[in-house]
Structure 1
Amino acid sequence: MVIRRATLADAIDIAKVHVDSWRSTYKNIIPDEFLKKLSYDQRTDLWIRNISKEGNYVFVAENNEGEIVGFADCGKKEKNTVTESGDLTSIYLLEEYQGKGIGKQLLKQLFLQFQALGFNRVFVEVLEDNNTRYFYEYYDASLLKSEKITIAGAEMNLLIYEWNNLNQVLSKF
């Protein structure tokens, strides 16, 4: 498994992982009609913008055949006004690659990036029904707050977690 910084040439493969992982991760959480409408082309455009955006850091996980099977990204969201802090925006893996330690490797890469940026606090948002929240909790994320959001007409709880000791997180790898 190789973890590396994404390039613009990776956008189409990241988009495929994004759509496919959302369809498996959010099945029975987000309405099916929303998941069915997800588009590889639209997500490719999104990832071209994300990779190109200054201050955004996108990493990919490649299997032994060089295929992208997961990705993660981080930076600082515009709505984040906390000094010396950043946001873990996403970690997604194809379903068949989950539970193999790849998410852990991607998380480590993100935290090394946060450390290099001089951040001392990190936030992540995750739907309450998404089991990934337990992954974040394992790595010492503390629940900061919960808020209601609506996706495709369905109301859900969005949990906002925080890490305030990056060295403690990095010591777990």
Structure 2
Amino acid sequence: MKIRKAVIEDAPAIARIHVDSWRETYNGIVPKAYLEALSYENREKLWNNMIPNTAVYVAQNEHGEIVGFANCGNERTAKYKGYHGEIYTLYLLKKEHGKGIGKSLFKHCINALSQKGINSFMLFVLADNPTVTFYEKLGGEELDRVNIEIGGETLEEIAFGFDVIKITDK
């Protein structure tokens, strides 16, 4: 497995993982119609814009195929004092779970934030997402619970906060 900074040519693969991982992970959580309406084309446009403007990392398997990605940058809400960075996304195909890839992508984001002088960061995860425990094991402290709307349905997100110094050994 190899983690590297994404390049614009990775946008189609990132878009595929983004859509497929949402459909795998959020089936039964997010409205079915919303998941079915997700498109590779729309996500590719999103990632064509994100790759040059945020720190985006991809995970490649032994065959060179992209199987996961993450991106991070400055915290977007300014609501959580003391947390200056944010991991915006971290997605893997379900078949890649449990191999240490998510943790490796997470650490690459920590390093990118640290290089910008950011030593505390946060992320949001749907409360019903089975990966909530992943973030708890990495040292995430619950900061807040907020309601968001996806596909016409109200869902709860958990805001987790992290201190880089506390998680470097995990």
TM-score by length of structure 2 reads 0.95
1:26 counterpart residue number: 26
Aligned mates of 1:24, 1:62 — CA distance in 2: 19
Q: Percent sequence identity over matched residues?
A: 39
Aligned mates of 1:77, 1:85 — CA distance in 2: 5
- 3-state SS of paired residue (2:68): strand
Is the contact made by 2:15 and 2:47 (CA closer than 8 Å) also made in structure 1?
Answer: yes
Is the contact made by 1:84 and 1:118 (CA closer than 8 Å) also made in structure 2?
Answer: no
Aligned mates of 1:80, 1:52 — CA distance in 2: 23
Is the contact made by 2:58 and 2:68 (CA closer than 8 Å) also made in structure 1?
Answer: yes
Aligned counterparts, 1:130-145, within 5 A: 130-145=129-144
- 3-state SS of paired residue (2:4): strand
The AA in structure 2 aligned to 1:114 is L
Is the contact made by 2:83 and 2:161 (CA closer than 8 Å) also made in structure 1?
Answer: no
Moved over 4 A (4+): 81-84
Aligned mates of 1:96, 1:157 — CA distance in 2: 26
1:102 counterpart residue number: 101
Is the contact made by 2:76 and 2:86 (CA closer than 8 Å) also made in structure 1?
Answer: no
- The number of residue pairs the alignment matches comes to 169
Aligned mates of 2:165, 2:102 — CA distance in 1: 18
Residue 75 of structure 1 deviates from its aligned partner by 0.3
Q: Confirm or deny that 1:126 pairs with 2:128.
A: no
The AA in structure 1 aligned to 2:19 is V
TM-score by length of structure 1 reads 0.93
Aligned mates of 2:75, 2:129 — CA distance in 1: 21
- 3-state SS of paired residue (1:73): strand
1:39 counterpart residue number: 39
2:11 counterpart residue number: 11
The AA in structure 2 aligned to 1:14 is I
